[in-house]
Amino acid sequence: MRLRQLCILFLSWLLLCCLPFSASAAITYKQNYQQSTNNGYPAFSSALTLATGENCIVLFVAMQTGTATNTVSDNNSGVWTEVTGFPVQDATLGIGIDIWISINHPSGSTTLSVQPSTGFDNDEVLTFSGVATSSAVDGHNSVDNQSSSGTLDSGLVTLSSSNDVVVSAVVASSGIYLSGTLANYGSGGGTPTGNYSYGGGSLGAIAQAYQILSSGSGTFGGSWGPGNSGNSPNLGGVVALKPAAAAAGLTGYFIPGD
């Protein structure tokens, strides 16, 4: 029977070697929020309540003045990072789009402060659980000078990781209301989930969407059909975030006795 036990141990070890040491945790969408902010009036009027594990916040900022800078903070020890390449300004109309993220964010009541250096912003917030707590950005992009007579696109990202969440937005100029079809216009397939289209002042609307993937193959980005014609050009932005790693493997072994 000793030989039998050794054979079982060897087969168990071989199985363990064949299993991955880590796997991707599932990213889950949690909530969204929107608000206008003005120079001198930066804080959201209501706090977000972040549940345990709801540790990623994505902030899109539609900017009345694209040359402005934004200062982002919160009252719950969140660390905020502006996505590389943003803000993006449209040179013709002067509007802009900015993207900020906070990963590994503490749970609990959280009030965001978004302070533009000039002009006003329309702000959109989405929260997720299961996002990587470091080096989370897997790709980002933007697109400018889009005609309002066709679809408005966020830009496309090509991913290096599977099971990402792709979060996209478009900022439309005055007179555009985004009520058309929402789609992923990249080669990766699938359909994003849209949350909100918020408009005010000299900005027509900011609309955002997310797509949680089961594969990283192809390109991904949001595309909206405008509900009516208006001024152009318009802006888009997109960021892809990696999932957290989750331990995987066998939890125990049963070795039959003699």
H runs (alpha helix) in the chain:
2-18
pTM over the 0.85 mark? no
Q: What pLDDT digit, counting tens, does each position of 58-91 carry?
A: 999 988 877 888 899 999 999 999 999 999 988 7
Average pLDDT, the chain: 79
For 99-118, what is the mean pLDDT? 92
Contact assessment for residue 174 and residue 228, using Cβ atoms and an 8 Å cutoff = no
Contact assessment for residue 121 and residue 69, using Cβ atoms and an 8 Å cutoff = no
pLDDT given at position 194: 83
Distance in angstroms (rounded) separating the CA atoms of residues 116 and 139:
25
pLDDT given at position 90: 81
Contact assessment for residue 212 and residue 168, using Cβ atoms and an 8 Å cutoff = no
pLDDT given at position 119: 78
Distance in angstroms (rounded) separating the CA atoms of residues 233 and 170:
11
pLDDT given at position 252: 40
Query: Nearest CA to 243 among 113, 138, 150?
Result: 138
Q: What pLDDT digit, counting tens, does each position of 128-153 carry?
A: 999 999 999 999 999 986 766 677 88
What the block records as the tokens of 73 is 């903070």
SS3 180: coil
For 96-107, what is the mean pLDDT? 96
Distance in angstroms (rounded) separating the CA atoms of residues 72 and 210:
22
Amino acid identity at 234: N
For 224-243, what is the mean pLDDT? 77
Q: How confident is the model at residue 245 (pLDDT cuts 50, 70, 90)?
A: confident
SS3 95: coil
Cβ of 150: how many Cβ atoms within 10 Å? Answer: 12
Strands 96-102 and 81-82: antiparallel
pLDDT given at position 62: 87
pLDDT given at position 197: 62
DSSP secondary structure, 215-248, as one string:
---SEE-EEE--SS-----EEEEEEEEPBPEEE-
Contact assessment for residue 120 and residue 41, using Cβ atoms and an 8 Å cutoff = no
| CA–CA distances in Å: residue 199 to residues 32, 40, 62, 94 | 16, 20, 10, 17
